[in-house]
Structure formats: C-alpha cells, structure tokens
Amino acid sequence: MALATAGLLFASAAQAATSRTSWVVSQIYGYNHPLAATDSADLATKMSTMAASAFDFYRGTDHIFYQDMATLPASAYTTAQTGFTWIGGDAHIGNFGAWQDSSGNNVFSADDFDEGYLGQYVWDLRRLATSMVLAGRANGIADNDITTAIKTMVAAYMSEMSDFKGSSDELSFQLKNGNTSGVVQDTIGDSKGDSRSSLLSKYTQLSGSTRSFQTIANTLVPVNSSTYSAISAAMNSYIGSISSSKRYAASYYQVKDIRQKLGSGVGSLGKLRYYVLIEGASSSTSDDVILELKQELASAVAEVDNGQLSAADYGNNEAQRVALTAKAQTLNADVLIGYANINGMAFYFHEKSPFEEDFDFTQLSSAGKLNTAATYLGQALASAHAISDQDYNSAIVSYSIDKQVTDAVSSTSGLQSEISTFAFNYAAQVTLDWQSFVSAYDAGTALY
C-alpha cells in the first residue's frame, strides 16, 4: 500500500486501542532480560518507575512504540526521501532541555540521542505528541487544550522547516533566553545560573589537594578493580574517537576516579552508566571534569526500518551511532563526545555538563504554559532534523531534509489533525498497555 493511501486510511478511521497483555509482557521481558546479568538493581528501579504512571511507562518502552510503527498505517505526509530524516527516535517531552554549548551559549534543544537513526520525521512528531497527551493529562490539562498545544507544536515545526528550506538558517538557529518565554526560558535561565563548582560539590569531595567521587547510596557507587582497570584502559580508544581538531592535551583526560551511576532516566535504566572524573584543563581541582559513560544498544528505530542507516556509517558500533547523532543534531556540540568499547560493550562518552537542565514537564501546569512550550518543542525538533541532513554529512543524508519535508506536507492543517488524532489514539493504547504491565508487575510476573 502506498504511503499516502495508508496515511489517508489512518486519518479517516479511528485507531482502536486493544488489550494485549501477554504481548506487552513478552516485549518488556525480551528487551530487558539481556541486561539483567549486569544491572538488575537498575532494572528493578525501572519496573517500579514504569508502574507509577502511563507517561513513565511510555518513556520506558520506546521499543514497543517502534514495533507499533512497523504495523500501524503510515502518514499521508511522507515520501521515500523523508524516510531518511536523522531522527532522535525517542522525542518525548522529557528528552528536551537546556545546556551550554561549546561556544558558551545557553540553549534549549533535544538532548537525548540513544535511539538516533534514519527514519520518518513523523515518528518523532508522533512520539512527542503522544507524550504531550500523557504528560498534559498527568498535569490536569483538558484534552481540548492538549489538542491545541499539539497543533501549535506541529505548526511551529513546519514553519521552521519552511524557513530553513532553501537557506542555511538552520546552521545558526538556536533557542536562547532572548527568543523564548515561559518554562522554556526559565529552564535556559536555570542553565545559565549553574556552575562547575556546584556540580563538583554534588558528586565529589576534596581531601587536601585530591578530588574524588563521593559514594552516594543508590546513586553513585564504587566499581570493582577489574571494571576500574577496563574503563581506564579504554580511555585511549575514547580519546582517539575525538576529532584531532577538538582533542585536548593527553593530561586533560587523566583519570582521577570512577563510579557507577545508578537511577538515571527511565528507558535507559538497566544499561550500565559510569561517571569518570578527569583532570580537565589544569592541575587545579576547580576545573575537574566529569565524563558520563553510557552503555548503548541497537536503536529501537531499527525495529521498523533496519538498515536505513547503514552500519558502515557508524562503524558497526552503537555508541559511535549515538555520538554521531549527538554531533549531527546539535550546533556547537560538546567537544568531549566520543565512544569506546569496555568489556565488549559499546559506551557513549560525553561531559556530564555543569550547565545541563532537564525540561520539567510538571511545570507545564496550565493550558497556556503547555501551549507556549509547544512552539519551542516544535522548533527544537525541526532544528535537530534540519541540521543533521546534508549539512552534517552528505555521505549519510545526501539532500536537504527541510526541503523534502516541506514539499511532502501539502497541508499543515492536515498534518496537525493527523498527528493530533494519532496522539490521542496511541495514548489510549499506551494507557491500556500500562494497565496490563501494572497487573503483571503487581502479580510478580517476571519482567526482566
């Protein structure tokens, strides 16, 4: 069936939510069980977190979302060419935030790249819009107002893509304090007010002239000697993964201490995560740097279009894929982004930035706040898609995605309605799936 025809069917017929308990339990077990041998404590945290709300369940099950994308009808506003958009893959409302880029600008953007892959741009729009339904309802916002916010987000996305078409504006566009308002502007302001000393005080301690990590129960815990040695040994490979033009002197990367980080995120719980304290620019303890190392698996997007992004493009290394996505989708990217294998597992490296602020969706406590934020969410997503096409690496995406998307969307109002309809229908499915999960969780069913 042609994409356009399938999309029209989808738009005209309600997508009925169905109970599928055994399938959901099987999917969750199959995805998480391979991680149980290395990080069962975090998997227990993941399950209890997902049981708390439909939105938390949604955050932890992007693999289910893409299984569904493989079977649900396509959009009326896609083409073969738009299927080569470099998407984030997990564009829910909690995966945006503020940070300070490598040029010192405090900006708001997409900030999670674990599932980065080539796919249809509408998958990011669908996933974001569905998260707006779940988060909006959790905040007590009426469905009519959530619908308005989704349409605002889609309109902002399309307006920005249209602006980028035929220009190079995407290579300078950033959301900053001066062109934002509301909760997004507040998040940028919080980032601007952060400091390296505050981050170091939170996680480290000084003993004389020596800085080391604190041990924080259920948050930051020691690693055994073999893991410590394996991470230390991987540093040279990591440094080699950084472009020579962005590489510091070897002394910058000198390892001072290592801890395992527990309890971060939702979907990524169960994947190993480490913090590595390194020397930084000088021998002073005031400019020490924390690197975050995160185990990476195959992208969930590959479940629906495996091979769209050639493994050769990322060296058949999933951490390299994530590093490429992070650099492709952000202007003035973190210069410490890199990757290495540790004990046979792929790890994505980046700075645990002192200036990083997560976007707190619970602050979107009114229709007006959600609608204001929706504009910036749409713009941020458009920016990520537009700068990661031929502008980043024409060998991976050989043309302008902003042009392809703009040309494919014959009606912005049509796309708004389609995405909104999808979001509410899929939120109903997520809620049913969550209820199935909770029943299994409460019954003690093996989920990992």
DSSP letter (8 states) at residue 290: E
CB of 116 closer than 8 Å to CB of 95: no
Average of per-residue pLDDT across 307-321: 96
What are the start-end ranges of the E strands in 72-115?
85-87, 96-100, 106-110
Please report which residue ranges of 165-291 form alpha helices under DSSP H. 182-192, 196-203, 225-240
Which position has the higher pLDDT, 194 or 16? 194
For residues 103 and 71, is the Cβ–Cβ distance under 8 A? Answer: no
Alpha helix stretches (DSSP H) within 306-399: 318-329, 367-387
Q: Name the nearest CA neighbour of 191 among 353, 355, 352.
A: 355
Q: Strand (E) positions, 306-364? A: 338-342, 345-351, 357-358
pLDDT band at 303 (very low <50, low <70, confident <90, very high): confident
Please choose, from the candidates 145, 8, 20, 6, the residue with its C-alpha nearest in 3D space to the C-alpha of residue 429: 20
pLDDT tens-digit series, residues 385-439: 999 999 999 999 999 999 999 999 999 999 999 999 999 999 999 999 999 999 9
Distance CA 157, CA 95 (A): 16
CB 327 within 8 A of CB 337: yes
Cα–Cα dist 172/349, whole Å:
26
CB atoms closer than 10 angstroms to residue 236:
12
Percent of the chain exceeding pLDDT 70 equals 97
Per-residue pLDDT tens over the stretch 56-99:
999 999 999 999 999 999 999 999 999 999 999 999 999 999 99
Handedness of CA 318, 322, 327, 328 (dihedral sign): positive
Average pLDDT over residues 2-12: 34
Whole-angstrom distance, CA of residue 258 vs CA of residue 140:
42
| 411 C-beta neighbours (distance < 10 Å), count | 12
DSSP-derived secondary structure letter, 312: G
**Is-contact 232 274, C-beta < 8 A?**
no
Q: Distance between CA atoms of 298 and 304, rounded to whole angstroms? A: 12
Within 13 A of 106's CA, how many CA atoms are on the CB side?
A: 21
Q: Report pLDDT digits (tens) over 324-370.
A: 999 999 999 999 999 999 999 999 999 999 999 999 999 999 999 99
For 162, other C-beta atoms within 10 Å of its C-beta total 16
Residue with the two structure tokens 């495996």: 306
Give the model's confidence band at 3: pLDDT under 50 very low, under 70 low, under 90 confident, else very high: very low
pLDDT at res. 306: 79
Pairing label, strands 255-261, 273-278 = antiparallel
SS3 category, 245: helix
**In the predicted model, what is the mean pLDDT of residues 189-199?**
97
* Residues 6 or more apart whose Cβ sits within 8 Å of residue 219: 261, 262, 263
Task: Give, for 102, the enclosing helix (H) or strand (E).
Answer: none
Cα(370)–Cα(132) distance, integer angstroms: 9
**DSSP state at residue 104:** S
pLDDT at position 47: 98
